[in-house]
Amino acid sequence: MTYRIGYLGPAATFTNAAVKRFFGGEESIPYATIPDCMDAVAAREIDYAVVPLENAIEGSVNITIDYLVHEQPLAIVGEIILPIQQHLLVHPEHAEVWRQVTRVCSHPHAIAQCHRFLNQYLRGVPVEDATSTSAAARLVKEHPEERIAAIANETAAEAYGLTIVHRDIHTHQNNHTRFIILHNDAGVSLPYEEPERGMKTTLMVTLPADHPGALYQVLSAFAWRKLNLSKIESRPMKTGLGNYFFLIDVEGAYDGVMLPGAKQELEALGCSVTLLGSYPCYSLKRE
Amino acid sequence: MTYRIGYLGPAATFTNAAVKRFFGGEESIPYATIPDCMDAVAAREIDYAVVPLENAIEGSVNITIDYLVHEQPLAIVGEIILPIQQHLLVHPEHAEVWRQVTRVCSHPHAIAQCHRFLNQYLRGVPVEDATSTSAAARLVKEHPEERIAAIANETAAEAYGLTIVHRDIHTHQNNHTRFIILHNDAGVSLPYEEPERGMKTTLMVTLPADHPGALYQVLSAFAWRKLNLSKIESRPMKTGLGNYFFLIDVEGAYDGVMLPGAKQELEALGCSVTLLGSYPCYSLKRE
C-alpha cells in the first residue's frame, strides 16, 4: 500500500527534503500553507501531513501550534528531526566563476544563517530575499543569463539542476528543524523501523482561571512521577492578554498508568488536558 | 526636560498610537525595525524605545525578546497595554458611498481580526495585504481617484486625513497589545503618574544542562515564597534543538529580600538568572 503525504511546499524546501528522506518513494504533494496542508488530512485528500513545528534558531512555528489547537485537531503520530544544511548553488554555466556572482538570493532565515560565509566569500554582493530557499533556486535556474547564487539545500540543487559550489555554508552547526507528522487517527502506527530517539507524548494544558500557582501544580504532577518534560511552551488562548495554554512534551509513551494518572489529577484541579499525540521520534543524519 | 522616544514605525501604527497617548508631546521618532530602534537607545540617539512585546491574539513578538536577550541588553523600564481597535477608513470624498469600495487594504493581522465585519458588510470585495495598517491608510490617501478602504486605527485616520466610516470593526473585543519601554539605565524612573496595574519584574532564566526537573525547581523557588508568576515563556537558546531559556514575569517589584533570595538560590542550583527589568505597568483606555 502506498500513502499520500502532504507537506508545506513549494517542492525542494527543507520540509520536502524531510519527506523525501523519511517516506522515500511515497507520493508527496506540496501545499501552499500549513493550514491548507492540515485541512487536506482532515478532508482525507492525503494520509499524512508533514509540517515544521520548531527550529533550533528561529523557535516554534506558531501557525502550526495554533492551527492544530484552535482549528484542526489532528493527531501527532510522528516526529522527524532534520539537520539544516545550507549550500551555495549557481547555474552550472557559472560554476567556475561563482565568486563573480552579482547577487545572492534566499529566504531571510537562510541568509541570516549564512551571514559569516557571505561576509568572508561574497562581501559586498547584494543579497535579496525570496519567499523560500526553493524559490531562490528556481530563480537561478530560470535566469542562466544572470550570475545569481542561491542559498538552498541539496534537494533544491537536484530539483533545479544547479551546481553546489560551496557546501555547508551555515554558521551554526547545530541547527535542526523538528517536523511533525499528522494523521486523522491517533491510533495509527507509522510503518517504519524503530525510532532512534524513542517515544514522546505531547499534551495541551489550560490552567484554571485566577490560580497563580497552577503551573507549578501542573509541573508537580509530572515531577513526583519522575516524568521528564523535554519542552514546555506557552501560547495565547486568543481570549485576552494573560490567558495562555501550555504545550508540554513528556519523554516516553502515553502508558497505561502514570500519564493517565497525571491527566486525571490535573483535570480534578480544574485544568483541561488534551492528548495531542504519543509518537515515535526519528532523526535524519547529515548528508 | 523633553525626551526623545523611538518606536517601531512607520508613523500612525499602533506602536505610534501607544507612544502618542503615553508620552504626549515628547519628540517621537519612527524606526524601520525593532533592532534598529533598540540599537538607537544603546547609541543614545534616543532616550527610550517603545516596541511591541506581545499581542493577545498573535502571541509574543519573538524578535523583541530575542534581540533583547541575545544582542542588545537594555533595561525594561515600563510597560504599556493598548486596546487594539480597528476602524474602516476611506478618503473623505467617498465617505457617503463607502459600501461601494472596490478593495480593502490592511496588514494581514488586521484583516484577520476584522474577518466577521468584512463578511457581513463587504462580502466579495477583494482584500489586499499591506506592510502595516498605516501603509494601508497612506495608500487610501494617495489614491483618491480609487474607492479603497483601509483597516487602521484612529491615529492613521488623523495622520492621513481619512474618514472613519465604521468604528470598532474587530471581532475580538479583548484584543490588546503589550509594549515595553526600554532604556539604557535600569535605575531610571518614568516621570509619570502611578501605574494602574502596579509593578512587574521580568527575569531571564537558563537551566543547567541535563537536569530534567530543573524548571520545576525554578518554579518552586517562586511558589513557596508566594511570588505570583503572570507569564512564563520559553525561547530557543539558538545553540541546539531542546535548549531553551525562560522569560518569567513576576508580579510586584524587585524587592530587597524575596526576589534576590530566589535569584541566589536558582544560581546555586546552576541556573543563570538575569534581571531584565522591574517596572510600572500602565493600561491605556479604549478611545
> Which of A56, A59, A236 is closest, CB to CB, to B62?
A59
Q: Are residues B118 and B77 in the same domain?
A: no
- CA–CA separation, B101 vs B88, rounded Å? 11
Q: Is the pLDDT of residue A65 over 70?
A: yes
Does residue B239 belong to any structural domain of this protein? yes
| Amino acid B1: pLDDT | 67
- Kindly determine whether residue A178 and residue B241, on different chains, have CB atoms separated by under 8 Å: yes
- Among A206, A182, A196, residue whose Cα is nearest residue A277: A182
Comparing A49-63, A202-216, B259-273, which segment has the lowest mean pLDDT?
A202-216
pLDDT in tens, A70-87: 999 999 999 999 999 999
- Grid cell listed for B174: 479583548
B64, B65, B216: best mutation site toward chain A, by most A Cβ within 10 Å? B216
| Amino acid A256: pLDDT | 82
Does residue A192 belong to any structural domain of this protein? no
Residues of A in contact with B244 (CB under 8 A): 231
Q: Are residues A203 and A284 in the same domain?
A: yes
Q: Is the pLDDT of residue B193 over 90?
A: no
Q: Are residues A68 and A104 in the same domain?
A: no
Kindly provide the ipTM of the predicted complex, given to two decimals.
0.81
- Grid cell listed for A143: 535566469
What is the overall mean pLDDT for chain A? 93
- Chain B closest CA to A17's CA: distance in Å? 19
- CA–CA separation, A280 vs A212, rounded Å? 34
Q: Are residues A92 and A78 in the same domain?
A: no
> Model confidence at A242, in pLDDT bands (50, 70, 90)?
confident
Q: Are residues B181 and B72 in the same domain?
A: yes
Q: Are residues A48 and A180 in the same domain?
A: yes
Domain at B26, CATH number:
3.40.190.10
CA dihedral of residues A251, A254, A255, A261 (deg, nearest 10)? 100
Q: Please report the sign of the dihedral spanned by the C-alpha atoms of residue B262, residue B267, residue B271, residue B274.
A: positive
Q: Are residues A180 and A69 in the same domain?
A: yes
pLDDT in tens, A156-184: 999 999 999 999 999 988 899 999 999 99
Cis amide leading into A195 (omega within 30):
no
- Kindly determine whether residue B57 and residue A220, on different chains, have CB atoms separated by under 8 Å: no
**How many domains is chain B partitioned into structurally?**
3
A216, A247, A281: best mutation site toward chain B, by most B Cβ within 10 Å? A216
Residues of A in contact with B172 (CB under 8 A): 238-239
Q: Which residue has the cell 501544580?
A: A217
| Amino acid A117: pLDDT | 95
| Amino acid A287: pLDDT | 81
Q: Are residues B67 and B9 in the same domain?
A: yes
- Kindly determine whether residue B229 and residue A241, on different chains, have CB atoms separated by under 8 Å: no
Q: Are residues A118 and A247 in the same domain?
A: no
Residues of B in contact with A232 (CB under 8 A): 215, 232, 234
Of A156, A185, A214, the one marking the end of a domain is: A185
- Among B167, B168, B135, residue whose Cα is nearest residue B150: B135
CB distance A14 to A133 below 8 Å: yes
The B residues from 102 to 121 touching A (CB cutoff 8 Å) are none
Q: Are residues B69 and B178 in the same domain?
A: yes
Q: Distances in Å between the alpha carbon of B150 and those of B134, B136, B236? A: 9, 5, 36
Q: Domain of residue A70: give its range.
A: 1-83+175-185
Taking residues B244-268, report their average pLDDT: 93
> Model confidence at A88, in pLDDT bands (50, 70, 90)?
very high
What is the overall mean pLDDT for chain B? 93
| Amino acid A1: pLDDT | 67
Q: Are residues B273 and B204 in the same domain?
A: yes
Does residue A60 belong to any structural domain of this protein? yes
Q: Is the pLDDT of residue A211 over 80?
A: no
Taking residues A228-247, report their average pLDDT: 90
- Chain A closest CA to B41's CA: distance in Å? 23
- Kindly determine whether residue B236 and residue A212, on different chains, have CB atoms separated by under 8 Å: no
Domain at B253, CATH number:
3.30.70.260
> Model confidence at A58, in pLDDT bands (50, 70, 90)?
confident
- CA–CA separation, B166 vs B90, rounded Å? 10
pLDDT in tens, B76-117: 999 999 999 999 999 999 999 999 999 999 998 899 899 999
Does residue B117 belong to any structural domain of this protein? yes
Does residue B109 belong to any structural domain of this protein? yes
